[in-house]
Chain A
Amino acid sequence: MSTILAFPVALPLVGAAFVALTDDWTPKAVKEFPAMLIAAATVAFSTVILVRSERTTLVHWFGGWHPRHGLALGVGFVAEPLGAGMAVLAGALVTASLVYSWRYMEEAPRLYRVLMLVFLAGMSGFALSGDIFNMFVWFELMGVAAYALAGYSIERLGPIQGALNFAITNTVAALFLLFGTALLYGHTGALNLAQIGRSLAGHHAGGVVIVAFTLLVAGLLVKSAVVPFHFWLADAYAVSPVPVCAVFAGAMSEVGLFGIARWYWTVFSGPLDPHAHAVRDVLLAMGLVTALVSAVMAFLQRHLKRLLAYTVISHVGIALCGIALLDSKALAGAANLVISNGFATAGLFFACGVLLREFRTVDELLLHGRGRALPFLGVVVALAAVALVGVPYIGSFLGHSTLDEGATEHGLRWLPPLLMLATGISAGAVLRAAARIFLGWGPREDSLLTPEPPDEVPETQASRPVMVAVTAVVVLIGIGLGFAPGLEDRSEHASDRFRDRQAYVERTLDGKVRRYGPPAPVVLHRAKPSSIAYGIGALLIAIATAALGLYRRRVPATARRAGARLLDPAVAGLKTVHSGVVGDYVMWITVGTALVGGVWALTLHGP
């Protein structure tokens, strides 16, 4: 029965309406449970879909409108393991967030729960849909819920600005997606991804296709926050409530990346594959710049949520590199990175919430040494940082090593060391903050770090044990994914299928069912020596970065002055560019889109 594909979307939507209707009458003691149970049930359905999709691609046509002679009449969902996995990730993080925020929201908790369920439906729909306009609808639903959630603490000035920056930039992105969709519809007369893909295959890319591709990719680059489209993200994350940040960080940005991969391979790979190098070079360059610039920005923050936000952007850049290589191994690496980093980062945001509850601040310098009162949380945070580093066989290591192998197979030997550097710097920033807060290391002042106006934190009735427990569980999942047996082969197999446009099109439009072998035998992942070296290298860089952040003053004065003369202008420039002014952000989106479009207009054209 393919009807199960409707559940990850329809169930949370019914749930949202149910919670909106009944919350006021529900006894206070059990008020929080309906939303949690609905989210948990959604994860269960998505997981069943994931497991079943490993054997064959599942298709469901809403309203029973099956395609006729290859013409899609209605809207269809198409589930293969990567899409279903995305839905599971989104559901798991929303569920964790709802459990974590038990009694956390003092104001309007009913609206918060309703919006979280709607947000989950939007993400699941985007991950499972096989129709470009339908994906736009879920993109919008996700956005509307997310803007409201980001502006939750509206009585303060920061959240108004952060949520506005978020809403304006992402609405520009939605406009791009709508333009791109309209162009494709005008060109092919179809909205179904498989049908557009079939119709474009075998032709050269003309102006319409190139413009549509650019707009669709640019729209999603805004959502996933890739340089120079990334500015809104740190502003939005810095002001959103912590449980919301965890879902934003772990799932929302990643949904954008997923969409880029989905649209490239299902829709555009036919006409664009002959020019794959041009697509690869542009995305790879953007990914690398994103990874490195945001890692440095993370290092320059003292507001923990903003620091983590830049870490998220840096990880998005690394995952984009994995997609950009346009190959199964690197795509599998990107997928694994998204999952393990998603859980680990969500855990770190959850830890921020505990600090906020205990000490009313998330400022690294103000928290100096105060975390000593919470030793268990300190251990969890350190573990999460280790998971982000990708120390051999832990956390993001699996993703990194698969991605590195993919890059090496393409002869891009320079790529893994650069990714190692980015990973090390951003994880180093987290380690530095952890050492300062939980061990009291380093000075109490650091003029390098960007100050942030203090937050007025509302009182909360949240239970610290629940919060810490959810934090620990989420971090442990992130760590465990590094050595989950069989995950490497399964993800690579799934990526192979994800890239197979022919199979996708035939399954969707012609109903040609392919069965895939039983899941690969459960074997432990064996990494190449080079990957292990990169993992250890990233750890050393992270430690060095953290040490530099904490004990810069012990460096001999002459070396310090020389370093300052060299780096200060660059640091000042970076800080100036991240201005917080939404007009600047829209300008950067325009510049980025025009540049990418210009390069692709010159390189993707013709045979």
Chain B
Amino acid sequence: MTRQIRLGVFTVAGCGLAAFLLWGLAGLPGFGHYHWPYGNVLNQVAPNERHTSNVVGAVVFDYRGFDTLGEEFILFSAVVGVSLLLRKDREEAAPADRVRSDPIMATGAVAAALLFVLGLWVVAFGYVTPGGGFQGGVVLAGAFLLVYLTGGYREYHALTPHSPVEMAEAIGAGAFAILGFAGIAYAGSYLGNFLGIGDAGSLYSGGSIPLLNWATAVEVCAAMILLFSEFLKTYVIPTDDWRPELGPR
């Protein structure tokens, strides 16, 4: 089949499909016209019964915490899949891996530290104010990536030793699933809330949400770092006598 035929048929069918989709969209309620009870009920129940002030956090880790378990493992298997598929060394053009400007390195070190603290804050207050383990985990991993950008691959590599990060990832993912079993043991349902609901607006609120939140943060942060490392490994070939597996001489 030639490219022209494929594109031609695709254009015709795609237009038909687009028209069909628009027909469906036209039947939806107008923008801003939310008239279902679900959102309103959750807005009532979460602050009252869980003392959670971030209802989105409550949806992610409590009402639909089971979806989050699945999503966490999607990330987990994506990382496993990437390290499986990228396990062969690729020989590609090597970029310079070392930043030699002192101002950049100094700024980067400060920025990375600030970013790391910001990440911790986004995680820790994730169920009180907007934030959460998923978002915070990515920010935390971003701090490490900033070390690579402003320092170099060696500094990044020294900060993120492969096997502890890999262990942290498995522990984070496994902890979420095991906390679910704790729910069975103490609350009668998988992922059931088995801690006191605490005081609204404080870090001690939301029952087991904080635990699930931190498990997610550990998993997501470690997963992102592993992803960065896998891709960097295929991209960076250290220039001189230094190889990741040997460490600095």
Chains A and B bind each other:
yes
Highest count of chain A CB atoms <10 Å: which of B3, B16, B28, B38? B38
Q: A16-B76, A141-B70, A189-B38 are in contact. Are A208 and B81 (CB under 8 A)?
A: no
Q: How far is the CA of A134 from the CA of B155 in the complex (A)?
A: 41
Contacts of A24 in B (CB 8 A): 163
Q: List 26 A-B contacts (CB under 8 A).
A: A6-B180, A16-B73, A18-B170, A20-B166, A62-B180, A64-B189, A74-B64, A75-B63, A75-B67, A108-B83, A111-B84, A112-B84, A134-B64, A137-B70, A141-B70, A141-B74, A141-B77, A145-B77, A154-B88, A186-B29, A187-B27, A207-B26, A211-B21, A581-B6, A583-B6, A594-B16
- The stretch from B7-15, B140-148, B238-246 touching chain A is B7-15
Contact B63 A187 (CB under 8 A): no
- Indicate if the CB atoms of B63 and A63 lie closer than 8 Å: yes
Q: Is B158 an interface residue (CB 8 A)?
A: no
Q: A14-B177, A14-B181 are in contact. List 17 more A-B contacts (CB 8 A).
A: A16-B77, A21-B167, A63-B183, A73-B45, A122-B70, A134-B67, A137-B70, A138-B70, A147-B81, A154-B84, A188-B36, A189-B34, A207-B23, A208-B28, A211-B23, A587-B6, A601-B23
- Chain A residues 120 to 142 lying within 8 A of chain B, measured CB to CB, are 121-122, 125, 133-134, 137-138, 140-141
The listed residue with most B CB atoms (<10 A of its CB), out of A190, A591, A594, is A594
* Structural contact, B193 and A10, CB atoms closer than 8 A: no
Contact with B along A10-46 (1 / 0, CB 8 A): 1001101110110010000000000000000000000
Given contacts A17-B170, A61-B189, A145-B81, A10 and B177 within 8 Å (CB-CB): yes
Q: How many Å from the CB of B61 to the closest CB on chain A? A: 9
Q: Is the CB of B189 within 8 A of A63?
A: yes
Determine the chain B residues whose CB is within 8 A of the CB of A206 once the complex forms. Answer: 27
B28 with A186: CB separation less than 8 A = yes
Most buried by B among A24, A62, A147: A62
* SS class, residues of chain B in contact with chain A: helix
Q: CB within 8 A of B13: which of A62, A133, A587?
A: A587
Residues of B within 8 A of A6 (CB): 180, 184, 190
- Contact of A584 with B38 at beta-carbon distance under 8 Å, contacts A14-B177, A21-B174, A155-B88 already known: no
Bound Cα distance A163, B86 (Å): 14
Q: Chain B's nearest CB lies how many Å from the CB of A57?
A: 17
Which A residues are CB-close (under 8 A) to B171?
A: 17, 21
Question: Does B109 lie at the interface of the complex (its beta carbon under 8 Å from any beta carbon of A)?
Answer: no
Q: How far is the CA of A55 from the CA of B136 in the complex (A)?
A: 46
Contacts of A212 in B (CB 8 A): 24
Determine whether the beta carbon of B24 is less than 8 Å from that of A590: no
Among the listed A61, A108, A598, which residue makes an inter-chain contact with B16, where contact means beta carbons less than 8 Å apart?
A598
List, in ascending order, chain B residues with CB within 8 A of A14's CB.
174, 177-178, 181
Q: How many residues of B contact A (CB 8 A)?
A: 69
Q: Which residue of B lies closest to A218 (CB)?
A: B17
Query: What are the interface flags for B164-182 relative to A under an 8 Å C-beta threshold, 1 for contact and 0 otherwise?
Result: 0011011101100110110
Decide yes or no: A63 and B65 within 8 Å by CB, A17-B76, A601-B20 being known contacts.
yes
Tell me if B85 is interfacial: C-beta within 8 Å of chain A: yes
Contacts of B178 in A (CB 8 A): 14
A225 CA / B78 CA spacing, docked (Å): 23
CB contacts (< 8 Å) of B78 on chain A: these are 144
CB distance from A79 to the nearest CB of B (A): 14
Cβ distance A239 to chain B, nearest Cβ, rounded Å: 13
The 9 closest A-B CB pairs, nearest first, are: A189-B36, A211-B24, A148-B81, A17-B174, A6-B190, A137-B70, A208-B27, A64-B189, A594-B16
B174:A18 contact, CB within 8 angstroms = yes
A210's partner among B13, B24, B38 (CB-CB below 8 A) is: B24
The answer to whether B20 and A211 touch across the interface, beta carbons within 8 angstroms, is: yes
Contact residues of B between 1 and 52, Cβ < 8 Å to A: 1, 3, 6, 9-10, 13-14, 16-17, 20-21, 23-29, 34-38, 41-42, 45
- By secondary structure, the A interface counts as helix
Is A68 part of the binding interface, using a Cβ–Cβ cutoff of 8 Å? yes
Contact indicator A148/B27 (Cβ below 8 Å): no
- Distance of A440 from chain B, by nearest CB (Å): 39
A152 proximity list for chain B (CB < 8 A): 84
Docked Cα-Cα span, A190 to B166, in Å, equals: 38
For residue B29, which residues in chain A have a CB less than 8 angstroms away from its CB? 186
Is A48 on the interface with B (CB-CB < 8 A)? no
**Chain B contacts of A151 at CB under 8 A?**
81, 84-85
Q: Is the CB of A207 within 8 A of B174?
A: no
Interface residues on A, range: 35 or more
The answer, among B25, B71, B81, B188, for a CB contact under 8 Å with A137, is: B71
CB distance from B56 to the nearest CB of A (A): 15
Q: Indicate if A597 sits at the interface (CB-CB under 8 A).
A: yes
When distances are taken between beta carbons in the complex, the residues of chain B under 8 Å from A86 are none
B38 to chain A, nearest CB (A): 5
Cβ-based interface call for A306 (8 A)? no
Query: Whole-angstrom distance from the CB of B121 to the nearest CB of chain A?
Result: 26
Q: How far is the CA of A122 from the CA of B72 in the complex (A)?
A: 12
A183 at interface (Cβ–Cβ under 8 A)? yes
Q: Is B80 a contact of A20 with CB atoms below 8 Å?
A: yes
Neighbour of A62 across the interface among B17, B38, B76, B189, CB < 8 A? B189
1/0 per residue, CB under 8 A from B, across A250-293: the answer is 00000000000000000000000000000000000000000000
Does B192 sit at the interface, judged by CB under 8 A?
yes
- A17-B171, A148-B85, A190-B36 known; A63 vs B62 contact (CB < 8 Å): yes
Q: Is A463 an interface residue (CB 8 A)?
A: no
Complex alpha-carbon distance, A145 and B81, angstroms: 7
Complex Cα spacing A122 to B70, Å: 8
Q: Contact at A121–B73, with CB atoms within 8 Å? A: yes
Q: With an 8 A cutoff between CB atoms, is B66 at the interface?
A: yes
Say yes or no: is B110 at the interface (Cβ < 8 Å to chain A). Answer: no
Whether B24 lies near A207 (C-beta < 8 A) is yes
Q: How far is the CB of B3 from chain A (nearest CB, A)?
A: 8
Cross-chain contact A187 with B66 (CB below 8 angstroms):
no
**Shortest beta-carbon distance, A564 to chain B, in Å?**
24
With contact pairs A148-B81, A584-B1, A590-B10 given, residues A60 and B189 touching in the complex (Cβ less than 8 Å): yes
Expressed in whole angstroms, the Cα–Cα distance for A241 and B218 within the complex equals: 32
- Chain B residues with Cβ below 8 Å from A141 are 70, 73-74, 77
Task: Quote the shortest CB–CB distance from B161 to chain A (angstroms).
Answer: 14
In the complex, the answer to whether B180 meets A590 with C-beta atoms within 8 Å is no
Q: Which residues of B contact A581 (CB under 8 A)?
A: 1, 6
CA separation between A84 and B23, bound complex, in Å?
37
How many angstroms between the C-alpha atoms of A186 and B26 in the bound complex? Answer: 11
Interchain CA distance A365-B167 in the complex, whole Å = 47
Q: Is the CB of B27 within 8 A of A579?
A: no
Residues of A within 8 A of B62 (CB): 63, 65, 74
Query: Which chain B positions have C-beta within 8 A of A208?
Result: 24, 27-28
Contact check: which of B45, B167, B188 meets A3 at CB < 8 Å? B188
Nearest chain A CB to B195's CB is how many angstroms away? Answer: 13
